[in-house]
Amino acid sequence: MTNDYKIAKELLSLAGVTINGDNPWDMRVHDMRLFGRFFGGGSLGLGEAYMDGWWDCEQLDKFFFLILRAGLDEKVKFNWPLLWHAVVSRISNQQSRNKAFVIGEKHYDTGNDLFTAMLGKTMAYSCGYWPHAFNLDEAQEAKFDLICKKLNLKPGMRILDIGCGWGTFMKYAAAKYGVEAVGITVSKEQAELGRELCQGLPIEIKLQDYRSVNEKFDRIISIGMIEHVGYKNYRTYMEVAHRCLAENGMFLLHTIGKERSTTATDPWIAKYIFPNSHLPSIKQIGAAIEKLFVMEDWHNFGVDYDKTLMAWDANFEKAWQALKGKYGERFYRMWKYYLLSCAGAFRARNIQLWQIVLSKGGVVGGWKVLR
């Protein structure tokens, strides 16, 4: 056995994972070059090796939960791809105006057939709210309603949804709370289907970068979009929200977050799933909102993202026979790896999900906490 194999075996044992073991969370290795590829390429090498069929795992979600909970990602940190990725993120603005539509083209335009099958009837591509929900659709509607109540939406209000996806939050808010809405997205596919889904309601969906918005709104919502803004642009993002928010207005930010400040995302995620993405920290968000907003509430329900991702994976698996002719086996392995590795990360509390309520000037008498 190679030295790389011996080191990997010892490290994985710390997490209760055995190479070619009998447990469903154990790694089944089909190509022994895997270990050299991992130590040379880190998470990028591991993910690409999975896509290439060099290894398998019956329960990928639990595999990642165990290795992240054991802190193995901290024990294997230095590799050239990660170093290069960090350098590029430091010296360039990967989320500048001229790159704003890359994420739409590379990810959200993948195919409405894929997302329709995976996301369920709500077409909500963000964490559901599960305390009283029995299935994905109920959890997503509960999330929509929680946001509406946190923002105290009233008939006639005009709202902005930054990164509106297929417009289904706006559809819910307009139908249930009587608001008018403008949504912006950088995905042509989202905009096209979203306009169909929202027909007959006072909703406008624009293909537009957030930096070019210059209208006033009573409320602003951003659900799972700031992850594409980049740490160099967080302040600009908040300044746009402040500029577009009416006096006494409120802004709800729904985002994945990390407990430490970084300047780069995981190289595999960046290459194959969310190019130019970045997860903010509390410190980075705090600096971005300073002297602009009063933070009224900070709600963490990251454990609910584990359930959401597992539900998406089940839907994806169920729909695969109808999708595989278009997408192919390598895409299948990539997408499963994406969904299940993220589920494991949320389960391990390696990443979080925050809903942050911000007000312009502070809510007189205080804001009522809702859960």
Catalytic site positions: 342
At 193 the three-state DSSP class reads helix
Residue 189 has which token pair?
A: 């596919």
Q: Which residue has the tokens 């290459």?
A: 271
Residue 325 has which token pair?
A: 């002719």
**Whose CA is closest to 153, among 164, 144, 165, 163?**
144
CB neighbour class for 155 (10 Å; exposed up to 12, middle 13-18, buried from 19): exposed
Give the orientation angle of helix 303-347 with respect to helix 34-51, to 10 degrees: 150
HSE of 204 in the Cβ direction (CA atoms, 13 Å)?
7
CB atoms within 10 A of CB 292: 16
Cβ atoms 228, 276 nearer than 8 A: yes
The C-alpha atoms of residue 73 and residue 211 are separated, in whole angstroms, by 35
Cβ atoms 219, 151 nearer than 8 A: yes
**Whose CA is closest to 244, among 174, 165, 170, 160?**
160
Residue 261 has which token pair?
A: 């400040």
Cβ atoms 232, 343 nearer than 8 A: no
